[in-house]
Structure 1
């Protein structure tokens, strides 16, 4: 008989109940969330009881629960169901199957936590107080130098419930044709870039709601509240299903994890029709709180974890933060490629990269460059008088979409995911922004005949010296649905070391992406 621990990572072995080999000891408080997840994957749940006194922490599917009660429940799971449970790995990279399970589990957990939120405050979204650009400039010039005893530094953090930060708003596309017209793209669908702009704004409002409380509707002046919040990064935005312009769209989210000065925010989009809900997108934002006077890290309010669902979400947020930090330390901009990565790249060069190659489908990465240069106006500013991050996301998305469309040579291009955004520095009002995009990798899968990964870099240009400073980096993935015979299979080949490094990053990522994309369809409905 197979062991129920088979497939679990080292250090995450679950204890086997003496009642049955295919059973796990589960704390009574953890049972509801595990039952919900198991039912969602169609497995049979058998609940039995066993009396045992223990105070040692238990690891259930990678989550640590401390049992302090005498009553124990044994959840009888088949080996197939055990393998289907979401597992938390504190590793530097998540396996594709694990990431798929994480997304599915997060969707169910967010829905459970949403039900605890007070409906009276669900649509309360802290917004920026209207202020003219002239007044904003005047207030900046009148700013007082920071002092060690400023009010913003002596306020003490207070605990917040996870559902206190829940926010939602609905775009009534199905019932408001005039609104739909403002979001319609050339194919009759919905402009995804505009929705990304809303999601970034929503993540900021959720963070402010966590800091200010569930009843606050206006942010007020930054000098009065003593802090401001910025988007540090976007971990992922995964499109789980295609958008339906005939249905209303609900955008929602909440804080799922807090560090000392950072917050992990989960957001989602759902289509609504006749009482039915379908999740079409899930994403994670990393937000950072800064002191208004010193611009240093500001302590955020910690979360109160009161249910198994909240504990599971908190663990996911913590793992996301640790994984992101680990990946940053191992980035190819800091450490050289491994011997395996170098060997893979060299093999690809021997096959496609030589100048005399007869490969007619080869496209040099440098030849896929597409640029856009813009002047940044104050109408697109955020609460701390810099260019709004969501606006930059939309600009990068639209440039990346254009590049992928040109590379695929027409046809319907479908967005799959935003694979990551790094917000290195703010973009000042009045600066010149240069967006540069490249096709980093192209591949195919059993489900998608052509998948294209596009990178977009945002640089601020110094008008006097001409020097450029990178402020943002974006990574997107698009695909085409046509039959393979109708799609030209083109291969992107790097010509420079910089391009080769970019390709290594995509080669590491692409296999995970392909298997993850195949798991989306039908997974979350």
Structure 2
């Protein structure tokens, strides 16, 4: 894409058609409104709460996307010295400083409706994922802009990219394709060079009540535009209220827990679980020690479904790499297809967890997505999608990086995606069973993710 005209936050746009904005405010998101040309903020309690939006004109989402490109295009890294990058004072910002809200105008924009329409007649979740990624980048740049607007310069030269997606919880997966969608977000944690961006989606139901569709937490990192391996400092985050302080502290603890290796090692209970499982499987065989499955079980490796494609320039972001939102969309659509085939019926997406962006994907790479069912419990299925790249022009280089055994294709892993699905039509799906040790560790990881989702948003 090419940089477009300057983005103006309060430019004349369509009003949000048909939205009834009179719900009770609850939670820690913050809302901005224009009162007599003076920008003010007020608290909107709890991420899961329903906000009370102001009636000011809504800014369509395409302006949010174009503003990012314009902002990055104006960055001049050569104007900053190494001393600036290390020592320039960066004043801390508040949560409300970065709050922004946009609309996906499905009620008035026919072309936008077609773009978002799924085969089932509702909104494609994959397209929503792309919007979430753009929103996270936009809010992160707002937090680090000179005057709180992308019309102005950056406080330091920086490239902001998605490091991981901590979680996306879907409160309603069946999104209407003819009603406007509100997307809002803000920074809820800032470290030395990383930030957590929390985003929500809302839409009116058939009665005109505003419904909370999903909440997402993205982890963004700031890098030097001239050397992507170097970190660039970001503005800190300070709390103005006890609620904000609690939000920041919770995010800090969650990020610390995610990065701890101890939380990824199997516990004694999990080792016993695998031992008991294999004792049961082998106990069914009266002749030798070969495990036996019933008709209601399936080996994990048998659930594999893959797709491969070439990365074209149309999928690139402003840095010339493949857009992270595109990778999420492709992974989700593959996982959804695999889950639907596994359940032999309709499935619903309930959550996305621990999405990792380990390595950039370049134009021209051959991109491979491999999906597996990693754990099942009643009507719930945990899916994992691993993305890897191969390049016919760089096979020796990739082979050296990945150490493939003889006969294997030289690939490098780039991304990992985890999805929790629900079987809507079949309440008892096949039980997935790991056959090898590496599958057993994947099984335990899937079990943790699914149980967390059930406890967090289903129970």
Do the structures match in fold with TM over 0.5?
yes
- Other-structure match for 2:194: 262
Distance 1:495 1:306, change over 3 A: same
**1:347 corresponds to which of 261, 276, 282:** 276
**1:372 corresponds to which of 307, 310, 320:** 307
- Other-structure match for 2:448: 508
Distance 1:238 1:152, change over 3 A: same
State the alpha-carbon separation in 2 of the partners of residues 120 and 130 from structure 1. 21
- Other-structure match for 2:216: 283
**Residue 421 in structure 1 maps to residue 355 in structure 2:** yes
**Cα displacement (A) at 1:517:** 3.9
1:82-481 aligned at under 5 Å gives the runs 105-108=46-49, 111=51, 125=64, 126-129=67-70, 149=82, 151-213=84-146, 215-217=148-150, 226-242=157-173, 243-272=175-204, 276-295=209-228, 296-326=230-260, 328-332=261-265, 337-352=266-281, 355=290, 357=292, 359-409=294-344, 411-444=345-378, 450-463=379-392, 464-465=395-396, 466-481=409-424
State the alpha-carbon separation in 2 of the partners of residues 149 and 238 from structure 1. 41
- Other-structure match for 2:399: none
Does the Cα contact within 8 Å between 1:151 and 1:226 map onto a contact in 2? no
**Cα displacement (A) at 1:313:** 1.8
State the alpha-carbon separation in 2 of the partners of residues 232 and 210 from structure 1. 17
Larger mean Cα displacement after TM superposition, 236-245 or 392-401 = 236-245
Distance 1:346 1:218, change over 3 A: farther
Does the Cα contact within 8 Å between 2:71 and 2:151 map onto a contact in 1? no
Q: Deviations over 1:424-456 (max 9, x none)?
A: 111122212111111111211xxxxx2111100
State the alpha-carbon separation in 2 of the partners of residues 412 and 503 from structure 1. 23
- Find the residue that maps to 2:257 and give its secondary structure: helix
State the alpha-carbon separation in 2 of the partners of residues 252 and 307 from structure 1. 20
Alignment TM-score, normalising by the size of structure 1: 0.67
The count of corresponding residues between Structure 1 and Structure 2 is 390
Alignment TM-score, normalising by the size of structure 2: 0.76
Larger mean Cα displacement after TM superposition, 304-313 or 251-260 = 304-313
**Cα displacement (A) at 1:218:** 5.5
Does the Cα contact within 8 Å between 1:163 and 1:254 map onto a contact in 2? yes
**Cα displacement (A) at 1:367:** 1.0
State the alpha-carbon separation in 2 of the partners of residues 319 and 415 from structure 1. 27
Larger mean Cα displacement after TM superposition, 489-498 or 210-219 = 210-219
State the alpha-carbon separation in 2 of the partners of residues 204 and 518 from structure 1. 29
**Cα displacement (A) at 1:268:** 0.6
Q: Deviations over 1:461-491 (max 9, x none)?
A: 142244211111000011122264xx5x311
State the alpha-carbon separation in 2 of the partners of residues 434 and 318 from structure 1. 34
**Cα displacement (A) at 1:380:** 1.6
State the alpha-carbon separation in 2 of the partners of residues 173 and 162 from structure 1. 29
**Cα displacement (A) at 1:151:** 4.9
**Cα displacement (A) at 1:186:** 1.4
Q: Which has the larger radius of gyration?
A: 1
Does the Cα contact within 8 Å between 1:253 and 1:265 map onto a contact in 2? yes
Q: Deviations over 1:44-73 (max 9, x none)?
A: xxxxxxxxxxxxxxxxxxxxxxxxxxxxxx
State the alpha-carbon separation in 1 of the partners of residues 46 and 149 from structure 2. 30
State the alpha-carbon separation in 1 of the partners of residues 60 and 123 from structure 2. 25
Q: Deviations over 1:142-173 (max 9, x none)?
A: x98x9973654453212222112112211122
Q: Which runs of 5+ in 2 are unaligned?
A: 1-24, 28-44, 397-408
Does the Cα contact within 8 Å between 1:381 and 1:387 map onto a contact in 2? yes
**In angstroms, what is the RMSD of aligned CA positions?**
3.3
1:36-75 aligned at under 5 Å gives the runs none
Does the Cα contact within 8 Å between 2:199 and 2:216 map onto a contact in 1? yes
Does the Cα contact within 8 Å between 1:250 and 1:272 map onto a contact in 2? no
**Cα displacement (A) at 1:122:** 11
State the alpha-carbon separation in 1 of the partners of residues 411 and 122 from structure 2. 36
State the alpha-carbon separation in 2 of the partners of residues 120 and 188 from structure 1. 25
Q: Deviations over 1:228-270 (max 9, x none)?
A: 1111110100001232334321111000111111111100101
